[in-house]
Amino acid sequence: MNYETLKVAIDEDRVGSITLNRPAARNAMNTRMMEELRDCFADYYVNPDAAACLVLTGEGAGFCSGADLKERKGMSDAVWRRQHAVVEQMMRALMDCPVPIIAAVNGAAYAGGMELALGCDFIYAAQSARFALTEVTLGIMPGAAGTQNLPRAVGVRRAKEIILSGAPFTAEQALAWGMVNKVCTDADLMREVRDVARRIAANAPVSVRQAKKAIDKATELDRMSGYAFEIEAYNRTVVTEDRQEGIDAFNAKRKPKYKGR
């Protein structure tokens, strides 16, 4: 697909990159970008074998500054609600994407930009990265799953402090609070993200996708219901060619060649 506001590519290791491409606007999300992100993630839902791991990042010196407030100036309530319906579709498509998604936060991730990162499976951040959910300072509140994903990452009390104050915080603080998995130097961020993305992409695709589904249920179901879901997901891997290839490769002391089936 051709995009106006995104750069999308897949390398030879089946690692896909999705780059927010409005650097002059600090990669703020206008309606067109919201629509394209929705369609991009939905396409991987329909075609999960197109890539084995995805990296979401921003062009230039920033990740995403949130919704484009210049576009929203003078926007009527009706138009605002229609735009937010696109945001809701975008976030559902992101969180439903079966392919693992790593957020590579290379600068400011504010408001909807931080929520976009939180919707990914995990986050690596550059030392220069800064985060904030600033919505309450603008007369609204997080509406891209921020009140749901942030407490799951940092706990309810820390999430309340971040959301209700609207105050920015550093990558190191995000790491200490459990929101970010790793802080990298600015120069090393993309190399380190791609290293872990390639490691994920080298594993059996069906196994990775089923494991991701089961992990997501851990905070949504009681333990025994979650375990029942895990077993159903596990059984889906037993019948694959990749399961037998993994055993054969281990015993032959060679690298497995997974086919995603």
Query: Domain 205-252 carries which CATH code?
Result: 1.10.12
How large is the average pLDDT for residues 147-173?
Answer: 98
177-189 pLDDT tens trace: 999 999 999 999 9
Which class would CATH give 6-201? alpha beta
d(CA 159, CA 148): 9
The pTM assigned to this predicted structure is: 0.95
8-48 pLDDT tens trace: 999 999 999 999 999 999 999 999 999 999 999 999 999 99
Active site residue 115: yes
State residue 180's pLDDT score.
Answer: 98
How large is the average pLDDT for residues 212-228?
Answer: 94
State residue 223's pLDDT score.
Answer: 94
State residue 19's pLDDT score.
Answer: 98
> In the predicted model, is pLDDT for residue 175 greater than 90?
yes
State residue 1's pLDDT score.
Answer: 74
**Which listed residue (135, 161, 220, 245) is catalytic?**
135
**Which listed residue (115, 161, 241, 245) is catalytic?**
115
How large is the average pLDDT for residues 220-243?
Answer: 94
Active site residue 135: yes
122-150 pLDDT tens trace: 999 999 999 999 999 999 999 999 999 99
Structure tokens at 213: 């589904």
Domain-wise residue ranges, the chain: 6-201, 205-252
d(CA 170, CA 176): 10
